[in-house]
Amino acid sequence: MVRFVLGLTVLGSATAALGATYAQSDSHQGDGFYKSFNFQAISDPTHGRVNYVDMATAQADNLTYSSGDTFILRCDDTTVLSSSGPGRNSVRIQSNKQYLDHVSVFNIRHMPEGCATWPAVWEVGGDWPAGGEVDILEGVNNQSPNQATLHTNPGCTMPSSRSQTGTSVNNDCDADADNNAGCGVQAPSSNSYGPAFNSAGGGWYAMERTSSFIKVWFWSRNDGSVPSDVKNGDTSIDTDNWGKPFAYFPGTSCSMTEYFDWANIVINLTLCGDWAGSSSVYADAGCPSSCVDYVNENPSAFTEAYFDFQWLKIYE
**Annotated catalytic residue within 113, 138, 208, 316:** 138
Burial of 144 (C-beta count, 10 Å sphere; 0-12/13-18/19+)? middle
Question: Is there a catalytic annotation at residue 133?
Answer: yes
Give counts: helices (H), strands (E), the chain.
Answer: 8, 19
Cα atoms in the 13 Å half-sphere on the side-chain side of 147: 20
Q: Which residues pair with 258 in a beta bridge?
A: none
Catalytic residue among 133, 258, 304, 316: 133
| Greatest Cα-to-Cα distance within the chain, rounded to the nearest angstrom | 56
Distances from the Cα of 231 to the Cα of 67, 226, 300, angstroms: 21, 6, 34
Q: Which long-range contacts (CB under 8 A, 24 or more apart) does 295-298 make?
A: 295/49, 295/81, 295/87, 295/88, 295/116, 295/271, 296/49, 296/80, 296/81, 296/82, 296/83, 296/88, 297/80, 297/81
Q: Which of 238, 244, 200, 237 is nearest to 222 (CA)?
A: 200
Q: How far apart are CA 110 and CA 211, in angstroms?
A: 32
Residue pair 262/125 in contact by the 8 Å Cβ criterion: yes
In whole angstroms, give the CA distance from residue 40 to residue 20: 34
CA 129 from centre of chain: 17
Cα–Cα distance measured from residue 85 to residue 30, given in angstroms and rounded to the nearest whole number: 33
Catalytically active residues are 133, 138
